[in-house]
Structure 1
Amino acid sequence: MGGMKRLVSLFALLLLCITSPAYAQSILRDAETEALLADMSRDIIKAANLSPANVRIVLINDQSINAFVAGGQTVYVHSGLIDAASSANEVQGVIAHEIGHITGGHVPLGDRMGKGATGITILSLLLGAAAMAAGSADAGMGLMQLGQRAAMGNYLAFSRAQEATTDAAGAKFLSGAGVSGRGMIDFFKKLQQQEYRWGLKRGSDTSYVMSHPMSGDRVATLTADLQADPAWNKPSDPQIEARFKRVQAKLRGYVTEPKDTLRRYPATDTSVTARYARAYAYHLGGYPKEAAGEAAALVRAEPENPYFLELEGQILLESGKPRDALAPLRAATAKTNFQPLIATTFGHALLATEDPAHLAEAETVLRQSVVRDKENPFAWYQLGMLYERKGDSARAALATAERASMIGDIGRAVPSAQAAMAGLPQGTPDWIRAQDIVMAGQAMMQDRKRK
């Protein structure tokens, strides 16, 4: 399958292994959401004997209820799962399960098992083709179908066994973190309702096509152990739950159709979560005045909240008022100690004023952003624009090369890095970095040609 990685998925209800790479989907980056997910998962990660510095929880823009790992120590969570969850504790149960896949090494195991299944399938195709060539089309098709079923059954049985052991690992990690397993059980019950809608029931003759144990079986297996755990009756952290409701509302406002968000959070609801959702919905729907009004109300309610200040500044910036956006974005950047995503928006606003007096501050802000967060192509884009404004074409080319390399555009990365090397003093850190991009890009292109 080329360079594709097999994904280990918790919540795919029906079939198979997922073979689309994570990077083929859209990743949502948000400072507040990433901070919450890190805080929610930190103790669970430690309980799994992993380092929180090395494990990332990444949000995918996909309305299906799903979470998966794809190699390494990254857990991918779909936006649809956040939307469907009733509490942060439910999401913690999901994360604990996915960390079980990481500690169990299930992605490499899945790859090996997938290769075994593919081998059975290829054998059946060869036998079927031979039978068809001998004049027996029906026999040939029958052999092919039998081979496909054998391969699928082999893989799915393996997958179900993996999931069962991972459920147990997730329960263990929740216990070690002192986090209640109620959320894990509650979420499996949600999935059970989805299975009913699909017509899948425990003990039914359709259960053999499942890549995961039936949710009812998972609930039955896990409940006794989780209820016996001292953390079962421990209330979820109220601050985490309050932050979760805000992030959930923000996400709904950002990814859902504005009319649906406004129906769910009507103007009569003046709570912080409702205003948060409406601010994004109005902004997404093209109502800048209403969006700015909701953001201003949030800032009045909590004037020190950096995420409300960020929102106010972002709405002003994207409404064509970059100068008005500077004060709230500068404050948000300072209050988060130059959080890279927020600082990048601030740098963007500084450049958008088109005032040469702001170039020095913009350079400081954007350079800090790319140092602290190496996976933010927009920061490199803004830095490239800054260097163009300053007339520094070599460093503008280097910023373009960094961004292109990050998004996989090797055809642009290599010539841009070569242009940077031509204009930079040889042996300087920037020149060496440009050389690294050229060498890595050329190696990738040669590898693609071989394949």
Structure 2
Amino acid sequence: MRAPIRILARLAALLAALQLAIQPAAAQSILRDAETEKLLQDMVDPLAEAAGLGRGAVEIVLVQDNSINAFVAGGQRIYIHSGLINAADTANEVQGVMAHELGHITGGHIIRSSEGISEATNITIVSLLLGVAAIAAGAGEAGMGILAAGQQAAMGKYLAFSRVQESSADAAAVDFLSKAGISGRGSIEFFKKLQNLEFRYGVSQDDEAGFSRTHPLTGDRITNLERDYQRDPAWNTPNNPQLEERFQRAKAKLYGYLAKPQDTLRAYPTTMTGIPARYARAYAYHKDAQVDKALTETRALIEADPQNPYFLELEGQILLESGRPRDALEPLREATRLTGNTPLIATTFGHALIATENQSNFEEAEQVLKAAVTKDRYNPFAWYQLGVVYAARGDMPRARLASAEQQSMSGQMAMALTSAEAAERGLPTGSPDWLRAQDIAMAAKAELERQKKRK
């Protein structure tokens, strides 16, 4: 019986490998920043419109991961790694990546990946049956050979399917960039970056190696894309200067936020006095608890552009996080006003109002935070802060409801269920808040049941 068991184990391993081949990286941290999210939305909107999806229909999610990667995982959402932003020299390069990922969305590739797995699985099952039959007949080595060949054929079938999808997404990207009037030069430049990385790490570029890849050979992709892009009238269209300027700021800001302070100061030394460099250094100094230097850089930014809400947001954030919430109120209030109550900035403002511990600020905090969660329900920190306000006012049922919202978004389903049921008991029967508490409780129960079954 041991040989068939080993065969089944190998089959299970292959099926798991096929499943993993289509799973995007999961469990990384999501980075939220109002300025960066607005920039990425403005970058993808003309492409989404060209793809027939419409402006605002596609969401960009920034993932904290140093690798150079982007992916889709169902729905109209593109995930971009912070490492990709750091590697890109221009916004146009990132738009090339966005256009490619849009090709996966419009092509339904996440849904259709099950077709590739199904075909590969069929091959594997056939090889399993033949292999077991050979082993049962006494031809053990032959049976194992059949199984191994079947596994290789199955994986090859899936990889070929994946390469077809990638080529399809490349072709779609050409179409979307062309319709949007955006040059494909950035797309080519980014592929060349990827090819240079492959050369550096010794990734084989020959045709035989291409059969073991999920993507077509990078050199072939560059050749095909250059031919298509150079024919397009948009090829010589210059990059949008405002978009490029915003990209350089956001890129420096992201680097300053994620990198070690000493690395940021090496990349952006004090001899560099442009806005991106000051942005990066402000974050580096703030992370290193050098508050005065962080504020000096930030106030130089505000002096250069007094109406920039994101510079004001940064000043307020530094003041708040260094224990000066009262001083943080005015820059955060103005940043909230200038951005039309953008939820992420409004949430920080609401936090600062609460942090003053002045009861007279709590009414404004409640208004600000309620507006924030109305615009963006998926903001756990805003719900937490709103719960603090409700609790301070003695409104415990709504404090419990806010806690349930925050806990459910954070994956704390048992706690969310307890909080939602407690809220439901204290809220007026049939009221919108009562119904919402019921919804959260039912969703939490369902998720806890699913988790129990998986175990």
Q: TM-score, normalised by structure 1?
A: 0.92
Deviation, structure 1 residue 142: 3.9
Q: Which moved more, 1:282-291 or 1:60-69?
A: 282-291
Runs (5+) with no aligned partner, structure 2? 1-15
Name the CA distance, whole Å, in 1 between partners of 2:257 and 2:148. 45
Aligned CA distance change for structure 1 residues 135 and 330 (closer, same or farther; 3 Å): farther
**Counterpart amino acid of 1:196?**
F
Residues 390-424 of structure 1, C-alpha deviation per residue, up to 9 Å, x if partnerless? Answer: 11111111001111122222211111111001111
Q: Is residue 2:284 matched to residue 1:281?
A: yes
3-state secondary structure, aligned to 1:206: helix
**Counterpart amino acid of 1:206?**
A
User: Which one of 289, 306, 323 corresponds to residue 309 of structure 2?
Assistant: 306
How many residue pairs match? The answer is 438
Decide whether the 8 Å contact of 2:123 with 2:153 is kept in 1: yes
Q: Which residue in the other structure is 1:102 paired with?
A: 105
Name the CA distance, whole Å, in 2 between partners of 1:25 and 1:122. 34
Deviation, structure 1 residue 127: 5.9
Decide whether the 8 Å contact of 2:22 with 2:113 is kept in 1: no
Decide whether the 8 Å contact of 1:258 with 1:281 is kept in 2: yes
Q: Which moved more, 1:209-218 or 1:126-135?
A: 126-135
Deviation, structure 1 residue 291: 1.5
Name the CA distance, whole Å, in 2 between partners of 1:139 and 1:416. 61
Name the CA distance, whole Å, in 2 between partners of 1:67 and 1:21. 10
Runs (5+) with no aligned partner, structure 1? 1-5, 9-14
Deviation, structure 1 residue 143: 4.1
Decide whether the 8 Å contact of 1:16 with 1:210 is kept in 2: no
User: Which one of 145, 150, 169 corresponds to residue 148 of structure 2?
Assistant: 145
Spell out the pairing of 1:71-110 with structure 2 (5 A cutoff): 71-110=74-113
Q: Is residue 2:408 matched to residue 1:405?
A: yes
Deviation, structure 1 residue 111: 2.6
3-state secondary structure, aligned to 2:236: coil
Residues 115-152 of structure 1, C-alpha deviation per residue, up to 9 Å, x if partnerless? Answer: 43345445556766776788776556544433332221
Q: Which residue in the other structure is 1:232 paired with?
A: 235
Deviation, structure 1 residue 165: 1.2
**Counterpart amino acid of 2:212?**
V
User: Which one of 299, 324, 340 corresponds to residue 321 of structure 1?
Assistant: 324
Deviation, structure 1 residue 229: 1.0
Q: Which residue in the other structure is 1:208 paired with?
A: 211
Q: Which moved more, 1:54-63 or 1:438-447?
A: 438-447
Q: TM-score, normalised by structure 2?
A: 0.91
Deviation, structure 1 residue 439: 1.9
Decide whether the 8 Å contact of 2:103 with 2:172 is kept in 1: yes
Deviation, structure 1 residue 289: 2.4
Deviation, structure 1 residue 347: 0.5
3-state secondary structure, aligned to 2:208: coil
Larger Rg: 2
Deviation, structure 1 residue 428: 1.0
RMSD over aligned Cα atoms: 2.2
**Counterpart amino acid of 1:379?**
A
Q: Which residue in the other structure is 1:338 paired with?
A: 341
Name the CA distance, whole Å, in 2 between partners of 1:293 and 1:18. 47
Q: Which moved more, 1:94-103 or 1:408-417?
A: 408-417
Residues 26-77 of structure 1, C-alpha deviation per residue, up to 9 Å, x if partnerless? Answer: 1101000010011111111000000223210111100100000000000011
Deviation, structure 1 residue 196: 1.3
Spell out the pairing of 1:36-435 with structure 2 (5 A cutoff): 36-121=39-124, 124=127, 139=142, 141-435=144-438
Aligned CA distance change for structure 1 residues 135 and 403 (closer, same or farther; 3 Å): farther
Name the CA distance, whole Å, in 1 between partners of 2:309 and 2:225. 40
Decide whether the 8 Å contact of 1:394 with 1:419 is kept in 2: yes
Aligned CA distance change for structure 1 residues 144 and 272 (closer, same or farther; 3 Å): same
